[in-house]
Amino acid sequence: MIEVGKVKKTEKKEQTKRNILYLNSKGTINYFYESVRGCSFVNIVEKNGIEGLSLLSYDAYIISLSAFEFGKEIYNLVDEIISFNKPVIIVYNSAYFSSFSGFDYLKNKFKIKFEKKDCSIIENSYDEYLPCDRSGYALSMLSNIGYGKAFIKNTQNCYILRNQNVSIIHDLKPTYLDKSREYVKQLSTLLLNLLQMPKNTSAPKWIEEIKILDDLKLEEEISDIEEKIEDLKKKKKEKIDNLMQNSEYKKVLYTTGEELVQVVKKMLAEMLNGEINIINDIDEKKEDLSFVLDNKNILVEVKGVNTPIKRQYVSQAQNHIEDDAVIKEIDDDNINKYYKALLIVNPYIKDPVKERVKKDFYGVSVKQEIEHKKVCTLDTITFLSLYQKYRDNKESIDLKDIILNSNYNEPDFSILGK
């Protein structure tokens, strides 16, 4: 129940504090900073450098022109700050001549011509509003030496320019004479105005139905562009998928074990035109892969090692043939008729490929062992180079002939030229 004659008291709403980043050069303090620091609705954080600077956590930004002493990298930083679409205040003063790089930034960014402006954001200012320095002049960008008068609506000596979320103001003692000739601090009102984002009236939904000028043509062109974008996205995805597939083949240069075996198996099947049935043998004592070419059993040993190709690897590949011949009761005289060993080695696996090709893959005795035991031997760089040539021109490489009729194969590092 509300008692008659009692007036209900309204609670005063607390002003939410704005967290503001003040970007300045070390040791340079201006009037604007000193005045802002005392505002009750502002929590200001001063930074004197740009190294490792965190930006996104602030509600607004004040940038002293002195910050442009940091060099050209400050240009990108200020661009980034402006892109957040939060209030930004850039403060300049007479300490810098018009040739100072900060003025170049303002000229190029906002197309400012340093001349008189009627661009007040303070609607209640009047003729006697007179923010000024000790000499009686407001500091401005008007003259070549940094001194002179700048102008604002209904006033004589103040300059504020606003461009969307950015306000540009000269450094001044923000006071004015009221009608009673008393000095009044204007900063709180001024700063509140500067910290507000410009308000735009939201368009009603029905406005989209009104077509004027070349609206229909533009909408049709946008639709065509969107279709092309979708088509390009599909093509991009296809190219990315192809790159991923290419990356699979590169595994022959850095993998070992079963991972290396599976890549070799895939490449062999493709280069032999899919005419063969390649079998994986999971018995570790036997060959890694086997298939048949022209009625010959091809037993494949695949290795990834951090050494050159050794005689024992050649012997191991040949031993698989001898073991299988015993099981199938094939005598020694007919082994070469029914079998051929294929040894594929990824040597010096821990070295970058361009470093490992400077080393010898085969010693003299290893080459002799390869020819003696008739084991077709390939390093994986050569194997990948053959595969590249096959993909470029399927008629240029006959892997079947290489496996059946050659043993030692001179290293081919042409893949490194791609």
CATH code at 362?
3.40.91.30
Q: 186 and 257, same structural domain? A: no
Neighbours of 48 (CB within 10 A): 14
Q: Is residue 385 part of a domain?
A: yes
pLDDT digits (tens, 9 = 90+) for 115-156: 433 333 333 333 444 444 444 333 333 333 333 333 333 333
Q: Does residue 386 have a pLDDT over 50?
A: yes
Q: What does the chain come to in residues?
A: 418
- pTM here is 0.53
Q: Is residue 235 part of a domain?
A: no
Q: 312 and 177, same structural domain? A: no
Q: Does residue 355 have a pLDDT over 90?
A: yes
Give me the pLDDT at residue 112, please. Answer: 65
Q: Is residue 100 part of a domain?
A: yes
In this predicted model, which residue has the larger pLDDT, 166 or 271?
Answer: 271
CATH code at 176?
3.40.50
Residue 56's identity, in one-letter code, is L
Among candidate residues 284, 287, 386, the one with its CA nearest the CA of residue 340 = 287
Give me the pLDDT at residue 131, please. Answer: 41
Q: 271 and 176, same structural domain? A: no
What is the pLDDT averaged over residues 334-348?
95
Q: Is residue 98 part of a domain?
A: yes
Q: Is residue 34 part of a domain?
A: yes
Q: 253 and 170, same structural domain? A: no
Query: Sign of torsion, CA 98 104 107 109?
Result: negative
Sheet holding 166-170, edge to edge: 42-47, 18-23, 60-64, 88-92, 166-170, 160-163
The CA distance from 46 to 32, in Å, is 13
In this predicted model, which residue has the larger pLDDT, 221 or 40?
Answer: 221
- Rounded to a whole number of angstroms, the CA Rg of the chain reads 40
Q: Is residue 4 part of a domain?
A: no
pLDDT digits (tens, 9 = 90+) for 92-122: 765 666 667 787 888 788 776 644 333 333 3
Q: 391 and 292, same structural domain? A: yes
Q: How many CA atoms lie within 13 A of 48 on its CB side?
A: 5
Strands of 69-112, DSSP E: 88-92
Give the chain's domain count.
2
- Concatenating the DSSP letter of every residue in 57-74 gives T-SEEEEEGGGGGG-THH
Which segment of 32-36, 303-307, 358-362 scores lowest on mean pLDDT?
32-36
Give me the pLDDT at residue 378, please. Answer: 98
Q: 167 and 282, same structural domain? A: no
Q: 266 and 117, same structural domain? A: no
Give me the pLDDT at residue 148, please. Answer: 31
Q: 406 and 304, same structural domain? A: yes
In this predicted model, which residue has the larger pLDDT, 296 or 157?
Answer: 296
Q: 102 and 23, same structural domain? A: yes
Q: Is residue 90 part of a domain?
A: yes
Q: 184 and 40, same structural domain? A: yes
The CA distance from 29 to 356, in Å, is 61
What's the angle, vertex CA 364, arms to CA 362 and CA 369, rounded to 5? 85
Give me the pLDDT at residue 312, please. Answer: 96
Q: Calculate the alpha carbon distances from 10 to 7, 13, 41, 172 in Å.
A: 9, 9, 21, 37
What is the pLDDT averaged over residues 278-298?
81
Give me the pLDDT at residue 268, please. Answer: 96
Q: 176 and 91, same structural domain? A: yes
Q: Give kind and range of the element (H or E) at residue 296.
A: strand 296-304
Q: Which DSSP letter does residue 408 get? A: B
Give me the pLDDT at residue 186, please. Answer: 57
Among candidate residues 414, 354, 359, 350, the one with its CA nearest the CA of residue 387 = 414
Q: Which DSSP letter does residue 136 get? A: S
Contact status, residue 293 vs residue 305, Cβ threshold 8 Å: no
Q: Is residue 241 part of a domain?
A: no
pLDDT digits (tens, 9 = 90+) for 9-42: 444 445 578 888 998 887 666 777 777 777 778 8
What is the pLDDT averaged over residues 377-381?
98
The CA distance from 78 to 322, in Å, is 75
Mean pLDDT rounded to a whole number for the chain: 79
Give me the pLDDT at residue 99, please. Answer: 67
Neighbours of 177 (CB within 10 A): 13
The CA distance from 219 to 387, in Å, is 49
Q: 124 and 267, same structural domain? A: no
Give me the pLDDT at residue 197, please. Answer: 61
Query: Which of 37-41, 144-148, 173-177, 184-188 shows the highest mean pLDDT?
Result: 37-41
What are the residues whose beta carbons fall under 8 Å from the beta carbon of 204, sequence distance 6 or more?
none
Q: Does residue 242 have a pLDDT over 90?
A: yes
Give the domain range for residue 281. Answer: 249-417
Which segment of 144-158, 197-211, 267-281, 403-417 scores lowest on mean pLDDT?
144-158
226-243 burial, b at 16+ Cβ within 10 Å, e below that, comes to: eeeeeeeeeeeeeeeeee
